[in-house]
A and B are shown apart, each in its own frame.
Chain A
Amino acid sequence: MKNHNVPKSNTFKLPMSLAKTLAFLILIFTVFILFSFLTADFSFIKIGNLNNILADAVIPAIFAFGMGIIVAGSGFDLSLGHIASMTALITAYLMSGGLEFAPFAAIMVGLITAAGIGTVSGLLVSRMGISSIIVTLGMQFLIIGVRQIVTGGQSVYIKNETFKWLATNEFGISNLFIILVIIGVLCYFLMERTTFGRKIQFIGSNIEASRYMGINVKNYTMYTFILGAVLAAFGGILFAARAGAVQINSVDSKLLDAVTIALFSYVLFGRFKTLGIVMVAILISMIGTGMSMMGIKTEWINFIKGLILLFSILMEKFMNYNTKTTLLKKGAKNHGR
């Protein structure tokens, strides 16, 4: 494999990022047109449906924010779906008959629990040097066990109307979407506009150099897991609000969506980009809705999502082939040691 002797003109100018955003918007538009034709009577274009698509994109997007933050720090989290389920269960359970917590309090308890789980995962990864895949895999199982204790396997039905209001259509557009915008803006500022987010991105790119620059890599790595867990928890809560009931494992499968969206966006934009995640989420939601309107079964839709995930990694390899090839090899001192 020959190395290239001329650096690809890779100026990270604003236009590049803008160009990618525009390109992606065009992609969304194209897919939209495609599905309009593929579905019977152009039913794809109905307002109700569009609103559905947006609403469907919200929860995966919030999950993807969480996963995206962790991935930005070069970590991974397999337990986000389970954390979300757990939080949804706890919140629902607290509000249910018997305990009658106020929604706000219930949500707070749920989020704090999630933060606690994230802290444990974060500590194991940052202090004990265990791979995040192993830690979060183990955490998945711990959660499966613990949540069984909490609910005894029963589904929990939510009767609290205030809580369920979160998911209703108050202003013509789903409330969920408004919540997404709020959370999105917060994530945007946190990750793309603060020193906090900058440090996390540095850690993800070159942990050694970050250490030399005085960044506390252990703590910041831990923070990514806490944030990821809290955002996943949000996702779970909103899911509960929308569904009105929580089964013990309802949110587990959201992991696939989170991973696909987060990775796809990361690969496309090279870093954590809030807008990117939102756009990819909308695209995936569109594909999912469109396919189901075409009569394709859910299982195959999942299969296709897995395929999209593979495809996005393929894209990453393709796009970064020139810049990342052994450019740093000369500086790399310790081959294997």
Chain B
Amino acid sequence: MRNKINKYLLCYTMPFGLLVLVFLLQIIFYDVPLFSALNIKNMLLQSVSIAMTALGLSYIMMSGEGDLSFAGMFSLLTVVFAIVTNAWSNFFIAIIAITIIAVGVNLMISLLVTRLKFSSFIVSIAVMFMANGIEKAFHQQTTLINSEVIKSFSTIEFGLPLVVWLMAFVYLISYFIINKTRFGFNLRIVGENKYAAIEAGINSNKIKVFAYIIAGLLLALAASVESTRVGAIYEQGKYYMLPVFAACFFGSSMFVPGRVNVVGTLVGALFLGIIDNFMKMINVESYIVPIVQGTVLIVSVALASVQNRSKIVQIKL
């Protein structure tokens, strides 16, 4: 019984702990304007695409599967976005194009996982490599977005940049879907106890496919946002991989013990954004960044797994 109390304590105090940590950082580095309006705006802006991708991954993880393909897919999508906008000077066609690709690929993965019982991790790794390969093939072509109109899109503001509102919007909708609709309810059941899902008469396969499709939509959105902000990203995909994963795992140790959840992922993504922003502000050497990210991932998972009584997790093919 004591274990259970501890579990709940940790997951509710953690977010406050993070807040305290941030304040501490500000105090220690008092000359760095962490809380200035401009800085906060920047920090949010930089976190948007990671937060959105993490949200998509959260859907997949809530359904009980894992995914690494977004690492390769993300940069590929930004490249495609750039190519399409340069060719047609039309923002919307580009979004539609990458949405179709992202959803299509995720749909294929979900079918392989649900119908053919492939291990989701392995399949997603294969897709990640494939996406990497394709992306390199387009390497030669122009990838910076020519159109000024498109580029300026990222600067539209209503107090906060448009894309930040977009991020808030998708998170709000997702919170609603996951916690207030039947689909979300079923999704959480499928991910937590697949036998309970059978007994409740839930079609797990259908749920998982939907989760993957939603993840694809979010990934496309994230790639669009990032493309309008910085243009195409070569081979940076794998650097995006870690914060996205970390956000989800970090989130799983908050608010709902041991389960990936919407608010947790948001807090995780923002926290990582703050750390990232902070590191830039104090001008750390670039090599510190991945070290911090790697450590955060491992520590956050370790915290979550402390409750698991440390049984060895095996990857079954």
Contacts and interface: CB of A to CB of B under 8 A. Distances in A.
Nearest to A139: B294
What are the nearest 7 A-B pairs in CB distance?
A148-B287, A302-B133, A141-B294, A145-B291, A306-B130, A129-B310, A303-B133
A309 to B, nearest CB: 4
Q: What band does the interface of chain A fall in when counting residues whose beta carbon is under 8 Å from B?
A: 35 or more
B288 interface: yes
Contacts of B195: 335-336
A124 interface: yes
Given A125-B312, A305-B129, 11 more contacts: A71-B317, A127-B310, A129-B310, A131-B313, A133-B66, A138-B301, A140-B294, A142-B290, A142-B294, A145-B291, A336-B195
Interface in B166-199: 193-196
Contacts of B119: 313
Contacts of A303: 129-130, 133-134, 137
Interface residues of B, number: 57
A75 B315 contact: yes
Contact of A138 (B132, B137, B139, B298): B298
A233 to B, nearest CB: 19
A298 B288 CA distance: 32
Contacts, number: 157
B4 interface: no
Contact of B117 (A207, A256, A304, A317): A317
A129 B311 contact: yes
A317 B301 contact: no
Contacts of B194: 336
A146 B298 CA distance: 16
Interface stretch (A58-66, A96-104, A259-267): A259-267
B312 A126 contact: yes
B243 to A, nearest CB: 10
Nearest to A76: B315
B317 A125 contact: no
23 contacts: A74-B316, A76-B121, A78-B125, A124-B302, A129-B309, A129-B310, A132-B313, A134-B301, A137-B241, A138-B242, A141-B291, A141-B293, A148-B287, A256-B129, A299-B134, A299-B135, A300-B133, A306-B128, A309-B122, A313-B123, A316-B317, A317-B116, A336-B195
A305 B135 CA distance: 14
A294 interface: no
B291 A221 contact: no
Of A126, A131, A297, most B-chain CB atoms within 10 Å = A131
B32 interface: no
Given A130-B302, A303-B130, A221 B294 contact: no
